[in-house]
Amino acid sequence: MKFSNLLKAGLMATLTAGVLAMPVSAQEYPSKPITIIVGKSPGGSTDLLARAMAQGGEPHMGTSIVVVNRPGASGNLAFNETADAPKDGYTVGAASNSLTLAPLLGETKYNYATDLEAIALVGSSPYVLAVHNDAEWSTLADFVDHATANPGAIKYGHTGVGTGAHIATEQLASIAAIDIQAVPFDGGAPMIVALLGQHIGAIMTNPLDIQEHVRAGTIRVLATASEAPVSDPLYGGVPTFTEAGYDLVSLVWQGYAAPKGIPEDVLQTLRDGFEKIANDPATVAVIEQMGFEPHYMGGEEFAQFWIDEQAALQVTLEQTGILQSIQEQKR
């Protein structure tokens, strides 16, 4: 353990140095390591992607980048810490879906979609609706017909109330006017096991998690929640929800954010640097390995993306009744 302790001590030391050091004038930015705060435990795709960005970032940013993990409160702790960080450009937060979603669901300290500064979007992946290959429905139309004829009979799995996949499935149910029942699971693996054993009828999931089962022919994807058909030939012939007549676009995405109020030129340096990192072939390879499509979006566009997504989620949460049910129980 000594070895990893040493590394940890090193990380902590650089972090402390990063936080405690006096503000430096803008023209010499960056003059010390930049910290990326990740709101997940080590090892998940958000963490691994951040580590790959950090690894490949040094030549592009002109300084080293370190990753620290601050899991807790579904990632809100890390967002709060990013928002509260010194406005000197040495603290960056890994941003993902809950940034726009969490403020709508509960009393978060900030509305992250407006209280953080967008740096860059680097990758995204659509949710897909997947069923067991032996299921009696082989297309989205069959699925919807079956659900219409047998209200409440189809059970679908999700990995937590108010997660993107749960909301997307409820949105589908609302658009298609069908009654399907939600079964909560404690993570993706048990949920996929339940689908493989046909204990549940369908799941809305990140395609990476089921990729090998799709290849093996045990799981079939009925539709993808992307704007354009997915380029992977594995999903050739699978329609998007929009193509199938249901207006549903829902992406899992990975990007980076900074505290509001950092100097304009520092923000610009960060945005330029992250653009180069995100388009570096080495980073692109990791993005793909983590199951995301490389999907670069610059800071200003990304900020607008947050606003738009949050507005759309607000509508969906109201339409599906998720917001009302949460608020009613809070009372």
Partner 1 sequence: MENFALLMQGFQASLALHNILAALAGVTLGTLAGVLPGIGISGTIALLLPISFGMEPLTALIMFSGIYYGAMYGGSITSILVNVPGEGASVVTMIEGYQMARRGRAGAALAIAAIGSFVAGTLGVVGITFIAPPLAQVAIAFGPPEYFAIAALGLLVLTNLSGGSALRAVLMMLIGLMLGTVGMDYMTGLVRFGFGVDGLGDGLDFIVIVMGVFGLGEVLARICERQNDVRVTKIKFKDLYPNREETRRSILPIFRGGLIGAIMGLIPGPSGTISTFASYALEKKLSTRREEWGKGAIEGVAGPEAANNAASSFTMIPLLSLGLPFSASAALLLSGFMIHGIQPGPMLVSTEPVLFWGLIASMYIGNLICLILNLPLVGLFASVLRAPMRYLMPVVALVTFTGAYVLNYSLFDLGVLTFFGFLGFFLQMSGYSLAPLALGAFLGPQLEQGLIQTMVLTDGNIWTLMTRPLAGTALWLGVAMIGWMIFRFIRQLLRRSSSQPVAEDV
Q: Which residue ranges make up the site for partner 1 (CB under 8 A)?
A: 1-5, 7-8, 41-45, 47-48, 51, 55, 68-74, 77, 105, 152, 155, 160-162, 181-187, 189-190, 192-194, 196-197, 199-200, 208, 211-213, 215-216, 218, 286, 289-291, 325-326, 329-330
Asked whether the beta carbons of 284 and 294 are under 8 A apart, the reply is: yes
Q: Degrees (nearest 5) of the Cα angle 74, 43, 259?
A: 50
The residue among 144 and 210 lying less far from partner 1, judged by its C-beta, is 210
**To the nearest whole angstrom, how small is the minimum distance from the Cβ of residue 125 to partner 1?**
14
Cβ distance to partner 1 smaller for residue 15 or 297: 15
Q: Minimum CB separation from partner 1 for residue 210, in Å?
A: 9
Residues whose CB falls within 8 Å of the CB of residue 214, separated by 6 or more in sequence, listed in order: 130, 207, 220, 221, 234, 235
Minimum CB separation from partner 1 for residue 88, in Å? 22
**First and final C-alpha spacing in the chain:** 48
- Whichever of 26 and 208 has its CB closer to partner 1, that residue is 208
Task: Say if strands 34-38 and 91-96 run parallel, antiparallel, or are unpaired.
Answer: parallel
Question: Running DSSP on this structure, what letter comes out for residue 240?
Answer: B
91-96/128-132 β-pairing: unpaired
For 106, the 3-state DSSP assignment is coil
CB of 313 to partner 1, least distance (A): 15
Residue 71 or residue 263: which is nearer to partner 1 going by CB? 71
Distance of CA 60 to the CA centre of its chain: 24
Nearer of residues 29 and 185 to partner 1, judged by Cβ: 185
> Is the bond into 30 cis (omega within 30 degrees of 0)?
yes
Listing from the earlier edge strand, what are the strands of the sheet with 251-259?
A: 65-69, 34-38, 91-96, 251-259, 116-126, 293-298
Which is nearer to partner 1, 66 or 144 (by Cβ)? 66
Minimum distance of partner 1 from residue 43's CB (angstroms): 4
Supply the minimum distance, in Å, between the C-beta of residue 283 and partner 1. 12
